[in-house]
Each structure stands twice: as C-alpha cells, then as structure tokens.
Amino acid sequence: MGQIEWAMWANEQALASGLILITGGIVATAGRFVQWYFGAYSIAAGVFICLLEYPRGKRRKGSTMERCGQKYMTAVVKLFGPLTRNYYIRAVLHLLLSVPAGFLLATILGTVCLVIASAIYLLAAIRGEQWTPIEQKPKERPQVGGTIKQPPTNPPPRPPAEVRKKPSEGEEAGAAAGGPQINPIPVTDEVV
C-alpha cells in the first residue's frame, strides 16, 4: 500500500468525470432542459478537464504507459509550469469547476465524480506527488562505424631516422623499432 501514487487514480477519475460532464451537458442542452445553460457550461468544463487530464504524468518508479497521442497535450500542459505541476492547484481547480455543474440534475453526477477526483488529488498533493511530463527519448541509432569517417591521413608514428639506421648497435631503442624484420625461421606466404 505504501507505494500507491494516488495522482494516477485521481487522473483516471478526473478524466472519467470530464466525459460524464460532457455527456450530461449534451443531454441537458439538446433536450433544452430547465436552466440548460448550466449544461452548456458543463460541456465546456468537461472538454477543458479532458484536455488537461489526458496526458498522463510519469510514475516515480518504473515505466509509464503513455496514452495514445498524448505527446501533443503534454507539450501544452508543460507550458504552464507550476500551475499544472502542483496537485494542490489541480485539486482546487477541479473543486471550483465542479460547482456550477451541481445546479443541474443532468450534470450533478459529473460534479460528484469531479469532487471525488479533487479529493484524491488533495491526498496526492499532501503526500508530495507532482506531475512530471513523460519526455520523448531522442532515438539514438548506434551508427556502426560512425566514427570511421575517412582513412587516416598521417602515416603511423615511426621512431626517429637515426634509430632506424643502426639496428646492429643492440640498443633497446634500436631493437624495439628495428628495421626490416629478419625472420629466424623462413616464412612462406600460404595465402591463396
């Protein structure tokens, strides 16, 4: 139980509430119910909440499944910085958004669900959770031989000329580099 990230559930609940608000709003507006303008508000609020909640935040541990096509909304939501990162603000925002929809029976279900989502966000905020966007990892293609650009332009380093010219002196410097190799055993080239 200790590892539950409440914000993840609050996010699902808020998204569901947004959809319910939209549906209730459409019913009230299309049916021209009494005080149907609350229904119109409910549609607008529902759309806003769905857009805000669609990008899922990153989990603290482990990998997070992105929702389909969420990267566009992630870019927008990221722009607001602390306003969207902080869950206290989201809790208050959802609470305020839910109030006008509570005046109409068609949308009151959305209100109840949104208030619950707001409460869960409050719990998440108290436990110090934050919304972190899921970043796109830049695709790194390991280039095979990518560092091989051109053949070397300089010949390999050779010892100074005077060392090369005196192989019989037996000095280490001379022996290390050596001139043409003298093979103790005759070597034949068998490569076909």
Partner 1 sequence: MGNWLVNHWLLVLILVVWLGLNVFLFIYTFLTYEMSDKYYYTREILGTALAFARASALCLNCNSMLILIPVCRNLLSFLRGTCSFCSHTLRKPLDHNLTFHKLVAYMICIFTAIHIIAHLFNFEHYSRSQQAMDGSLASVLSTLSHPEKAGNSWLNPIQSPNTTVMYVAFTSIAGLTGVLITTVLILMVTSAMEFIRRNYFELFWYTHHLFIIYIICLGLHGLGGIVRAQTEESMSENHPHNCSESYQKWGTHESKCKHPHFEGHPPASWKWILAPIALYIFERILRFYRSKQKVVITKVVMHPSKVLELQMRKRGFSMEVGQYIFVNCPSISLLEWHPFTLTSAPEEDFFSIHVRAAGDWTENFIRAFEQQHSPMPRIEVDGPFGTVSEDVFQYEVAVLVGAGIGVTPFASILKSIWYKFQRADHKLKTQKIYFYWICRETGAFAWFNHLLNSLEQEMEELGKVGFLNYRLFLTGWDSNIAGHAAFNFDKATDILTGLKQKTFFGRPMWDNEFSAVATAHPKSVVGVFLCGPQTLAKSLRKCCHRYSSLDPRKVQFYFNKENF
List of residues contacting partner 1 (CB under 8 A): 1-5, 8-9, 12-13, 16, 20, 23-24, 27-28, 31, 33-34, 56, 59, 62, 65, 103-106, 108-109, 112-113, 116
- Taking each helix axis from N to C terminus, what angle separates 37-53 and 6-30, rounded to the nearest 10 degrees? 150
Crossing angle of helices 108-126/87-101, nearest 10°? 170
Q: How far is the CB of 31 from partner 1 (least distance, A)?
A: 6
Closest approach, Cβ 191 to partner 1, in A, equals 23
Least Å from the CB of residue 151 to partner 1? 24
For the CB of residue 72, give the shortest distance to partner 1 in the complex, in Å: 20
**Alpha-carbon distance 83 to 97, whole Å?**
15
Using the Cα atoms of residue 114, residue 120, residue 125 and residue 126 in order, give the sign of their dihedral: positive
The torsion region of residue 32 among left (phi > 0), alpha (psi -120 to 50) and beta comes to: left
Tokens 């305020």 correspond to 96
Comparing CB distances to partner 1, the nearer of 33 and 48 is 33
83 vs 126, beta carbon nearer partner 1: 126
Q: Which of 9/164 has CB closer to partner 1? A: 9
Nearest distance, CB of residue 108 and partner 1, angstroms: 7
- Gap between the Cα atoms of 22 and 16, Å rounded: 10
Residue number with CB closer to partner 1 (31 or 179): 31
| Residue nearer to partner 1 on the CB measure, 29 or 84 | 29
Residues in a beta bridge with 86: 130
- Integer-rounded Cα Rg, in Å, for the chain is 35
Number of C-beta neighbours around residue 170 at 10 A:
8
CA distances from 12 to 1, 67, 166 (A): 19, 11, 83
The minimum distance between CB 73 and partner 1, in angstroms, equals 17
Cβ nearer to partner 1, comparing 23 with 86: 23
